[in-house]
């Protein structure tokens, strides 16, 4: 247990304390010196007269004989203190990292029955160590075997409703048709402050979208946003954390406003640089010539098989550790001959044999069957075919198996040799055939057991030649990116390598060797299969299945067989330490060599030291431990020799981690904690020449104190990557050069892929691998070192030791570190989060580098290699695709992204006059444009008031139908002729005057569903001289949320009475309504279903054209409730303008699918038909809920040429009818007659939606050019409208980066950072537009971004509000330019846009000016001194992952908050966090502060289909969204 909790970070301390005699007193002195810096007054009463200690690199570091007294408990104590010291500084700062919020359903783990613990090991990528599924493992690990309840603690979500919010399109439809005026929060402000306090407030969240849509509105503007909630506290915590001093940012520069330049890493002037002389190549000892060495490996086999046939060659073990089979040299020889004969003569026909000498053959054998593998391997050598050993494919989609298939295909493999048991275990199809694995060539599976083979004829004998340059075998190698290469090893290289190993390991005949390594490749193959046969040694092969059950099995076999040599990895030593304490009779004195295959891994030193420390008492000698360095390309590079003389202890160095990150060797003299202790891996292999070259660029020799890649020149190396000449040249044919530029040797060197240096005495030190190298901001970090740091933070409690992946991803043109680990199922949320924060702090302190993302995934879910290790490239691929499904994520973009462009400094504003002069000088015109003139031509243009037009129409064309209302089935439910409307209006006026007792100028609220009653009531008000206000009725299923909005509009508009239908009257008096709103304070409610029969005594004759006609109340996207005053003059001008633009005449029919409560929707629904005389076909959008095809079918059947809709309707049709186009075609749907399909909106045109709609219905006859948009706003309800004639809408592509600086730069389609913008329709007749600077109010030039100002006869007259706020926005309606034309009165739209003169011509023959709307000023976000439009960021986010249904962003305390709706299982929620963060960083150079993942339908949307981002913000801050997950990025 003590050894389990080792702390890697303090290996330096351990080694330092270990480097000489140590007694109790010396121990105390050294300990105090080491931790003095971290513990206040630690040195106060301890002796401090320690002699200065300088660690140095050499092989005789301490020559005194050891008589030390060692205190393991104190050793652990100092270890713990040292690690805690690193983390203590962070604790002192009291940095509270905000913990992510998680929905309860996401916290509760799956039942333990379904859980299979993963294998775990100490970081070997290929193989797994003994896992926690081992029966007897629990007591070694001292972990409770029973799992307690999962602690939810503060990690569960708040007490808000846990019901999910709506499903799919239904929820989205509810969004689009929702009642968008106010929320139940209007009274949350007044009383309740927490959602959990009242059930009816909870329940609405999960019903229709009304609740979600409606968050605080008008009152928010009066009271501000309450910030007492838990979410706000967490955001404050995050802000405080981000204020903490960070690593200083890189030097920033900024050249031009147009180009936001990312920071370029400037070299640190103080960085350490190499100072040593040039490192000359180092030669290994000469390869001795021994007279009886065989001329080839097959010759050796022949010798032993004939002269010592009974000698044991290989013993295989079962899972109980008992010998399963002993293969003798005689058996190996005879079986190999038999197999060789069968391979050459029994596959295919005599004329066409399938395999000829030189062909490649796959060897597919499991790890527990070394005997069959060995026979197959030597059978191939004797048949002169090339074996390609690979792993057994566990399943068709095994991680990395596809790449193995590519290797087999490129090697031209057609035959796979396998064992009987393995063949039976392979997946099979129904017919019993082995299916072709994905990416694999078609293979013939050939079983190698003797009983299946034919006996060779007596006269047949394999031809045994001397070793030559033919390929002997191909070893596979997995690259960093997951691709698999085949390294070819020639027969001469194979023999020479065996000779070199025999010489350096002093192998002798009949020695016993215990092998735990994989015998198919690498050190396990070289020692356990090849060199052993050359020396007639006996190999005891310990399978991994046995190691899992009994980690001590290899040690027991060493004792049992008195083995002289054991081949292990450091993780085998580690697990032996964990398991050893119950063993009594262990004796390791027979070992003369313990070969550590991964001894080149910098942190194997800890396992070696700890193993020696424990087993020294069991007969293990220090000089026995022999680490080696090897690679698939260069085979064995260096190996530490087993020496008899223990007076020469191994070399080791305590190196500064900072120096290593700059590629420089610096011995740490200051005893810091950020050090790496490395041990030597001995000297260069006999017969080899090794040099160290720079890892990048020209292979130039390094200096003596510089880290580089080791290159080897020797016969005993690989010769090529099979079939890849280009890569072979770069790796196997390297010619290093000296500082003078001359070649150092005429022979080629091979790159080993190992990083390190050569120390004094020719000792080789390895500091890492090229594959594990991560370059961050010009500094090198080693993936293995980062894994070790993560493991040092209480490793065994929360994560599995061998299941940690560290890799880098490119974000914003630099590498970023990602750490992924498997979380133990019994660790709580809070514990895991604490562990994650500590890991981040440790890596930051030790390595001086920030981690971009740290993710914990559920146990046993990371992709495995066939041997059970983690498959790094597959994990990286899953991360990049957003398919890891983590259960915890911590992102730290604020810490590690230091190359963002410099925040924009606002220049002192240039005066408007200078801007104008500058434009004139540069030849740019002032950005202004106008629609054509309003001419008075028609009869109805003589009337000043709309009520007079209706009376005139009732007299002249009484039976002409003005309005037709359709039901949800498409049938006409009611219609109105001119006369019928006139009569109904008269009776409404009578009702108002008689029953209501209303006076001229009184305000009347019209609370009607979309239909004909609303139109009659409106004209009734005009007839009675009253001012109508149209109000959306409350939703019967959601009164508590929607009724307060109605009440507020009635109050704010000072309505003297409310007119409505009988059904709504009843609803207003229901119990639920009474509970929501006090009905006694309401003005009188009049029911118009029961109208008086008589007409009013006299019509009201309006006299003042500038008098108020009606009030247009609506809620802006920022939640502002405002009523705009519309005069009779404005109404007349508006109707005339629309009539001219759309060419509306009595003979025309127009289909309208819009909400009739405000803006252009109301004007088209209620006013235009009366003015122009055309017939309006009214389709209430709410009816599309039950019949999405209603609108398009009506347009088709009634042969309508012009139609108007909203984005919500268009989206509903695109999503709801996407798969039904063929069925609709069969029903006769034909849209070829449509010449104008106009989307009415108050925003930038949604190009992607209009394009999708056009594309989808193109097959049904819809012409793409007929789809266009309109643009209106509060101050002017319609500025642009495409209309029927004039040029097609134009599209431009602008640079999004320039747009952030309020500039417009046109770019080509598809260029980086390009943003497509579509013209918002043609400017209406009688409308003038100018683009002005919102701050200086000066006019701007063409193609400059500014605020759109409008001058028109149908501008609103001003805001109407009962709260005296008209003054605040008075300049919205009457502003003047500060320079130029200072006389004209303009209305400010509050929207940013630009004008651009196009090459097209208008109807009057002049060049056409196109208006492009970019976004609302009040929604734009000022971040880093630049202006961002939410829609641009949202577009990037939606593209980031396939499961993101919708997205909304808003700023809060300078942090960017991103809310995404998840379409998919909750398990995918955390995948979105890294994807969203990366997308926004890459495309917008912004760091996301908070990512909120919610259910579909949570983002509120108003009736126009616009997102209500401010409502969403308030709901988030008040903890009312019931999010699935909230991530706070650090």
* Tens digits of residue pLDDT in 288-302: 877 678 999 999 999
pLDDT of residue 23: 44
Q: Which residue has the tokens 């570190």?
A: 817
Residues 180-197: what's their mean pLDDT?
36
Among the listed residues 917, 1241, 948, 897, the one whose alpha carbon sits nearest the alpha carbon of residue 1099: 948
pLDDT of residue 1080: 77
Report the share of the chain in percent with pLDDT over 90: 53
State pTM to two decimals: 0.81
pLDDT of residue 200: 40
pLDDT of residue 645: 59
Longest dimension (CA), the chain: 134
Cα(796)–Cα(1010) distance, rounded to whole angstroms? 65
Cα(1069)–Cα(1073) distance, rounded to whole angstroms? 6
The separation between CA 1128 and the C-alpha centre of its own chain, rounded to angstroms, equals 55
pLDDT bucket at 1108, cuts 50 / 70 / 90: very high
Indicate left, alpha or beta for 812 from its phi (over 0: left) and psi (-120 to 50: alpha).
left
Cα(946)–Cα(1500) distance, rounded to whole angstroms? 36
Residues 1079-1094: what's their mean pLDDT?
84
Mapping DSSP to helix (H, G, I), strand (E, B) and coil, where does residue 854 land?
A: strand
The separation between CA 911 and the C-alpha centre of its own chain, rounded to angstroms, equals 45
Cα(1347)–Cα(1273) distance, rounded to whole angstroms? 13
Sequential DSSP letters for 149-167: PPP-GGGS--SS--S----
854 φ, ψ to 5°?
-120, 120
Q: Residue 41 above 70 pLDDT?
A: no
Q: Are the CB atoms for 814 and 825 separated by under 8 Å?
A: no
Among the listed residues 248, 245, 290, 302, the one whose alpha carbon sits nearest the alpha carbon of residue 270: 248
pLDDT of residue 365: 95
Cα(1151)–Cα(1164) distance, rounded to whole angstroms? 10
Cα(1001)–Cα(1100) distance, rounded to whole angstroms? 11
Mapping DSSP to helix (H, G, I), strand (E, B) and coil, where does residue 333 land?
A: helix
Among the listed residues 1361, 1384, 1356, the one whose alpha carbon sits nearest the alpha carbon of residue 1372: 1356
Q: 1371 vs 909, 1125, 1175, 1359, 1361, CA distance in Å? A: 21, 15, 38, 11, 15
440, with CB counted inside 10 A (0-12, 13-18, 19+), is buried
pLDDT bucket at 1403, cuts 50 / 70 / 90: low
For 804-820, write each residue's pLDDT tens digit.
Answer: 999 999 998 899 999 99
Which tokens hold the place of 1277? 């309800």
pLDDT of residue 350: 83
pLDDT of residue 2: 37
Q: Are the CB atoms for 336 and 373 separated by under 8 Å?
A: no
- Range in 459-473, 1110-1124, 1294-1308 with the lowest mean pLDDT: 1110-1124
Residue 436 CB neighbours (<10 A): 13
Among the listed residues 1110, 1040, 973, 1054, the one whose alpha carbon sits nearest the alpha carbon of residue 1361: 1054
Residue 1002: which residues within 8 A CB-CB, separation 6 or more? 1026, 1027, 1056, 1057
Query: From start to end of 556-673, where are the E strands?
Result: 565-568, 593-596, 625-631, 635-639, 652-656
Mapping DSSP to helix (H, G, I), strand (E, B) and coil, where does residue 315 land?
A: strand
Mapping DSSP to helix (H, G, I), strand (E, B) and coil, where does residue 1415 land?
A: strand
Which tokens hold the place of 369? 């069957």
Q: Which residue has the higher pLDDT, 1006 or 940?
A: 1006
Q: Which residue has the higher pLDDT, 544 or 175?
A: 544
pLDDT of residue 1475: 96
Helix (H) or strand (E) holding 614: helix 604-615
pLDDT of residue 1504: 74
Across-strand partners of 816? 809
Which tokens hold the place of 1423? 């971040």
Q: Are the CB atoms for 58 and 40 separated by under 8 Å?
A: no
pLDDT bucket at 591, cuts 50 / 70 / 90: very high
pLDDT bucket at 1431, cuts 50 / 70 / 90: very high
For 1439-1486, write each residue's pLDDT tens digit.
Answer: 999 999 999 999 988 899 999 999 989 999 999 999 999 999 999 999
Q: Which residue has the tokens 């990037």?
A: 1436
Q: How many residues does the chain have?
A: 1530
For 655-676, write each residue's pLDDT tens digit.
Answer: 999 899 999 999 887 677 788 8
Q: Which residue has the higher pLDDT, 186 or 965?
A: 965
pLDDT bucket at 910, cuts 50 / 70 / 90: low
Helix (H) or strand (E) holding 362: strand 360-364
Cα(501)–Cα(14) distance, rounded to whole angstroms? 32
Across-strand partners of 1393? 1346, 1413
Q: Are the CB atoms for 128 and 867 separated by under 8 Å?
A: yes
CA angle 143, 147, 153 (to 5 degrees): 110
Among the listed residues 1298, 1289, 1273, the one whose alpha carbon sits nearest the alpha carbon of residue 1321: 1289
Among the listed residues 6, 30, 7, the one whose alpha carbon sits nearest the alpha carbon of residue 18: 30
pLDDT bucket at 220, cuts 50 / 70 / 90: very low
Report the interhelical angle of 370-383 vs 297-307 (nearest 10°).
120
CA dihedral sign, ordered 305, 308, 309, 312: negative
pLDDT of residue 239: 74
Which tokens hold the place of 217? 């509105």
For 1174-1202, write each residue's pLDDT tens digit.
Answer: 999 999 999 998 899 999 999 999 999 99
Q: Residue 530 above 90 pLDDT?
A: yes
pLDDT of residue 1398: 83
Among the listed residues 945, 1284, 1287, 1320, the one whose alpha carbon sits nearest the alpha carbon of residue 1148: 1284
Q: Are the CB atoms for 640 and 505 separated by under 8 Å?
A: no
725 φ, ψ to 5°?
-70, -40
Cα(1201)–Cα(1204) distance, rounded to whole angstroms? 10
For 1335-1370, write each residue's pLDDT tens digit.
Answer: 889 998 887 899 999 999 999 988 886 554 444 566
Cα(331)–Cα(1044) distance, rounded to whole angstroms? 92
The separation between CA 719 and the C-alpha centre of its own chain, rounded to angstroms, equals 41
Q: Residue 399 above 90 pLDDT?
A: no
Cα(1118)–Cα(1105) distance, rounded to whole angstroms? 33
pLDDT of residue 592: 94
pLDDT of residue 578: 83
Q: What is the mean pLDDT of the chain?
A: 82
For 201-226, b/e burial (b = at least 16 CB within 10 A) is bbebbbbbbbbbbbbbbbbbeeeeeb
For 1502-1523, b/e burial (b = at least 16 CB within 10 A) is bbbbbbbbbbbbbbbbbbbbbb
Mapping DSSP to helix (H, G, I), strand (E, B) and coil, where does residue 245 land?
A: coil
Q: Which residue has the higher pLDDT, 1379 or 1323?
A: 1323
pLDDT of residue 55: 36
Residue 1303 CB neighbours (<10 A): 16
Query: From start to end of 1101-1190, where are the E strands?
Result: 1108-1115, 1121-1127, 1149-1153, 1175-1178
Helix (H) or strand (E) holding 80: helix 72-92
Q: Which residue has the tokens 């106009």?
A: 1238
Q: Residue 610 above 50 pLDDT?
A: yes
For 109-142, write each residue's pLDDT tens digit.
Answer: 443 333 333 343 334 444 555 444 433 333 333 3
Report the share of the chain in percent with pLDDT over 70: 80
Bridge pairing between strands 1003-1007 and 1387-1401: unpaired
1301 φ, ψ to 5°?
-100, 20
């Amino acid at each position: 247990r003590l050894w389990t909790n080792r702390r890697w970070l303090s290996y330096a301390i351990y080694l330092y304390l270990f480097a000489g005699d140590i007694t109790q007193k010396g121990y105390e002195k050294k300990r105090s010196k080491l931790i003095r810096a971290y513990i206040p007054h630690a040195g106060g009463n301890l002796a401090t007269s320690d002699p200065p200690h300088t660690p140095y690199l050499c092989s005789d570091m301490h020559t005194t004989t050891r008589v030390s007294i060692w205190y393991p408990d104190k050793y652990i104590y100092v270890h713990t203190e040292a690690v805690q010291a690193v983390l203590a500084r962070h604790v002192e700062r009291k940095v509270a990292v905000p913990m992510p919020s998680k929905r309860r359903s996401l916290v509760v783990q799956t039942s333990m029955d379904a859980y299979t613990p993963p294998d775990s090991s100490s970081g070997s990528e290929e193989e797994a160590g003994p896992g926690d599924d081992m029966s007897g493992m629990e007591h070694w690990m001292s972990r409770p075997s029973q799992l307690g309840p999962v602690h939810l603690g503060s990690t569960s979500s708040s007490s808000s409703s846990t019901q999910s919010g709506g499903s799919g399109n239904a929820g989205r439809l509810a969004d689009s048709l929702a009642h968008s005026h106010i929320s139940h929060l209007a009274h949350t402000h007044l009383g309740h402050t927490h959602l959990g306090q009242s059930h009816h407030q909870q329940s609405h969240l999960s019903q229709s979208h009304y609740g979600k849509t409606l968050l605080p509105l008008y009152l928010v503007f009066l009271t501000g946003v309450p910030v007492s909630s838990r979410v706000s506290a967490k955001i404050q915590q995050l802000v405080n954390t981000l204020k903490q001093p960070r690593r200083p940012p890189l030097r920033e520069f900024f050249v031009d406003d147009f180009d936001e330049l990312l920071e370029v890493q400037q070299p640190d002037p103080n960085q350490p640089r190499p100072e040593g002389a040039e490192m000359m190549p180092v030669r290994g000892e000469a390869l001795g010539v021994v007279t009886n060495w065989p001329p080839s490996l097959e010759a050796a086999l022949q010798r032993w098989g004939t002269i010592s046939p009974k000698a044991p060659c290989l013993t295989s073990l079962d899972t109980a550790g008992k010998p399963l089979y002993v293969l003798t040299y005689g058996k190996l020889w005879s079986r190999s001959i038999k197999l060789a004969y069968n391979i050459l003569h029994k596959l295919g026909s005599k004329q066409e044999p399938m395999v000829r000498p030189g062909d490649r053959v796959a060897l597919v054998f499991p790890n527990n069957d070394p005997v069959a593998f060995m026979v197959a391997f030597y059978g191939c050598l004797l048949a002169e075919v090339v074996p390609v050993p690979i792993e057994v494919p566990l399943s068709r989609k095994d991680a990395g198996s596809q790449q193995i298939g590519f290797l087999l295909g490129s090697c031209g493999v057609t035959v796979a040799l396998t064992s009987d048991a393995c063949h039976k275990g392979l997946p099979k199809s129904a017919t019993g055939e082995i299916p072709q694995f994905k990416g694999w060539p078609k293979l013939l599976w050939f079983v190698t057991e003797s009983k299946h083979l034919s006996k060779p004829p007596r006269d047949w004998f394999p031809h045994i030649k001397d070793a030559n340059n033919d390929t002997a075998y191909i070893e596979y190698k997995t690259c960093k990116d997951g691709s698999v290469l085949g390294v070819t090893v020639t027969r001469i290289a194979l023999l020479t390598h065996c000779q070199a190993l025999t010489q350096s390991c002093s192998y002798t005949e009949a020695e016993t060797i215990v092998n735990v390594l994989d015998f198919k490749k690498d050190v396990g193959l070289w020692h356990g299969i090849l060199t052993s046969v050359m020396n007639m040694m006996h190999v005891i092969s310990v399978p991994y299945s046995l190691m899992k059950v009994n980690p001590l099995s290899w040690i027991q076999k060493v004792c049992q067989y008195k083995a002289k040599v054991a081949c292990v990895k450091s993780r085998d030593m580690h697990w032996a330490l964990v398991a050893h304490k119950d063993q009594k009779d262990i004796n390791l004195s027979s070992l003369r060599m313990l070969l550590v295959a991964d001894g080149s891994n910098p942190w194997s030193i800890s396992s070696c030291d700890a193993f020696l420390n424990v087993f020294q008492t069991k007969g293990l000698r220090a000089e026995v431990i022999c680490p080696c360095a090897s690679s698939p390309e260069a085979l064995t590079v260096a190996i530490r020799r087993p020496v008899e003389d223990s007076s020469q202890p191994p070399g080791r160095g305590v190196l500064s981690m900072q120096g290593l990150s700059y590629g420089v060797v610096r011995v740490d003299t200051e005893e810091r904690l950020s050090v790496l202790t490395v041990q030597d891996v001995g000297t260069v292999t006999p017969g080899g020449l090794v040099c160290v070259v720079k890892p990048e660029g020209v292979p130039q020799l390094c200096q003596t104190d510089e880290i580089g890649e080791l290159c080897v020149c020797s016969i005993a190396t690989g010769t090529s990557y099979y079939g890849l000449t280009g890569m072979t040249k770069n790796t196997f044919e390297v010619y290093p050069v000296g500082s003078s530029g001359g070649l150092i040797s005429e022979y080629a060197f091979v790159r080993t892929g190992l990083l390190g240096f050569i120390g004094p005495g020719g000792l080789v030190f390895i500091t890492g691998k090229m594959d594990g190298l991560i370059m961050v901001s010009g500094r090198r970090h080693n993936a293995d070192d980062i894994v070790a740091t993560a493991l040092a933070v209480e490793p065994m409690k929360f994560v599995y030791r061998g299941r940690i992946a560290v890799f880098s991803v490119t974000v914003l043109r630099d590498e970023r570190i990602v750490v992924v680990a498997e979380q133990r199922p019994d660790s709580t949320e809070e514990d895991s989060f604490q562990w994650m924060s500590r890991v981040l702090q440790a890596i930051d302190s030790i390595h001086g580098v920030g981690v971009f993302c740290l993710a914990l995934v559920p146990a046993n879910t990371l992709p495995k290699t066939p041997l059970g290790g983690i498959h790094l490239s597959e994990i990286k691929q899953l991360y990049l695709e957003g398919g890891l499904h983590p259960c915890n994520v911590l992102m730290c973009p604020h810490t590690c992204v230091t190359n963002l462009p410099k925040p924009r400094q606002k220049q002192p504003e240039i005066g408007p006059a200078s801007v104008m002069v500058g434009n004139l000088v540069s030849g740019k015109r002032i950005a202004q444009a106008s629609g054509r003139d309003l001419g008075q031509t028609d009869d109805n243009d003589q009337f000043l008031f709309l009520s007079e037009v209706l009376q005139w129409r009732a007299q002249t064309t009484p039976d002409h139908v003005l309005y037709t209302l359709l039901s949800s089935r498409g049938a006409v439910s009611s219609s109105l002729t001119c006369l019928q409307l006139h009569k109904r209006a008269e009776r409404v006026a009578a009702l108002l005057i008689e029953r209501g007792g209303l006076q001229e100028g009184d305000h009347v609220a019209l609370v009607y569903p979309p239909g004909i009653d609303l139109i009659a009531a409106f004209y009734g008000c005009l007839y009675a001289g009253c001012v109508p206000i149209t109000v959306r009725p409350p939703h019967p299923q959601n009164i508590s949320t929607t009724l307060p909005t109605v009440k507020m509009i009635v109050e704010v508009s000072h309505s003297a009475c409310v007119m409505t239908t009988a059904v709504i009257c009843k609803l207003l008096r229901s119990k639920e309504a009474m509970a929501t709103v006090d009905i006694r304070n309401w003005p009188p409610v009049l029911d118009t279903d029961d109208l008086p029969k008589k007409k009013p005594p006299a019509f009201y004759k309006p006299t003042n054209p500038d008098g108020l006609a009606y009030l247009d109340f609506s809620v802006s996207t920022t939640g502002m409730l405002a009523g705009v005053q519309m005069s009779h003059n404005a109404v007349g001008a508006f109707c005339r303008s629309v009539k001219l633009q759309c060419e509306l005449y009595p003979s025309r029919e127009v289909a309208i699918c819009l909400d009739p409560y405000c803006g252009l929707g109301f004007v088209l629904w209620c006013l235009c038909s009366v003015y122009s005389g055309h017939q309006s076909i009214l389709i209430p959008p709410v009816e599309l809920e039950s019949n999405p095809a209603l609108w398009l079918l009506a347009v088709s059947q009634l042969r309508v040429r012009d139609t108007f809709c909203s984005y919500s309707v268009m989206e509903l049709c695109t999503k709801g009818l996407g798969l039904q186009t063929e069925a609709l075609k069969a029903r006769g749907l034909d849209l070829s007659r449509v010449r104008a399909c106009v989307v009415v909106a108050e925003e930038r045109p949604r190009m992607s939606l209009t394009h999708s709609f056009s594309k989808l219905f193109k097959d049904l006859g819809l012409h793409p050019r007929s789809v266009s948009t309109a643009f209106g706003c509060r101050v002017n309800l319609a500025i642009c409208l495409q209309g029927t004639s004039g040029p097609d809408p134009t599209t431009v592509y602008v640079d999004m980066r320039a747009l952030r600086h309020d500039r417009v730069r046109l770019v080509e389609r598809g260029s980086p950072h390009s943003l497509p913008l579509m013209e918002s329709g043609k400017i209406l007749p009688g409308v003038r537009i100018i683009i002005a600077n919102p701050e200086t109010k000066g006019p701007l030039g063409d193609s400059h971004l500014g605020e759109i100002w409008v001058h028109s006869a149908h501008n609103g007259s001003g805001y109407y509000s009962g709260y005296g706020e008209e003054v605040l926005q008075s300049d919205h309606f009457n502003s003047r330019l500060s320079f130029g034309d200072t006389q004209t009165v303009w209305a400010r739209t509050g929207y940013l846009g630009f004008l651009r003169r196009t090459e097209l011509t208008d109807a009057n023959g002049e060049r056409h000016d196109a208006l492009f709307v970019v976004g609302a000023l009040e929604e734009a976000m000022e971040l880093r001194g630049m202006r961002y439009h939410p829609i641009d960021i949202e577009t990037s986010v939606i593209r980031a992952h396939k499961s993101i249904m919708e997205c909304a962003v808003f700023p809060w305390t300078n942090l960017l908050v991103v809310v995404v709706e998840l379409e998919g299982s909750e398990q995918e929620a955390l995948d979105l966090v890294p994807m969203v963060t990366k997308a926004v960083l890459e495309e917008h150079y912004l760091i996301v502060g908070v990512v909120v993942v919610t259910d579909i339908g949570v983002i509120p949307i108003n009736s126009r289909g616009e997102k209500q981002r401010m409502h969403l913000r308030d709901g988030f801050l008040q903890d009312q969204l019931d999010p699935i997950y909230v991530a706070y990025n650090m």
